[in-house]
Amino acid sequence: QVRLVESGGGLAQAGGSLRLSCAASGVIFSIDAMGWYRQAPGKQRELVAMVTNGDSTNYADSVKGRFTISRDGAKNTVNLQMNSLKPEDTAVYYCKADGVRGITTVRDYWGQGTQVTVSS
């Protein structure tokens, strides 16, 4: 069974940095794209950043210039470098892998989420 394992969440001060990582494990032949979503209390889940297997990237306007997404296709991992953090970045961050091709199926997977808290 394919699973996404997230790491790097935690507590940071405003202006500080955190680096999130996510690794997909299992029998995987290819992944179309990987990225990060976040959800703050009382708000809808939103796309933060994504990267395709061709290294095309997309960012939410609120994080452009501060966050950088990257991938390692050989390891089926995706990273999110978060700089100049703001209290409004506080949320649960979820890793997502789109178009994961296994032996008999292709589908999307979600990580269980990791808390990021930014204090003022």
| pLDDT given for residue 75 in this prediction | 87
Residues near 29 by beta carbon (within 8 Å), at least 6 away in sequence: 101, 102, 103
Q: Report pLDDT digits (tens) over 22-73.
A: 999 999 999 999 999 999 999 999 999 999 999 999 999 999 999 999 999 8
Over its C-alpha atoms, the chain yields an Rg (Å, rounded) of 14
Nearest-angstrom CA–CA distance, 78 and 35: 7
User: Per-residue b/e over 74-92, b at no fewer than 16 CB within 10 Å?
Assistant: eebbbbbbbeebeeebbbb
Q: Report pLDDT digits (tens) over 71-112.
A: 998 889 999 999 999 999 999 999 999 999 999 999 999 999
- Helix, strand, coil share (%) of the chain residues, nearest 5: 0, 60, 40
pLDDT band at residue 6 under the 50/70/90 scheme:
very high
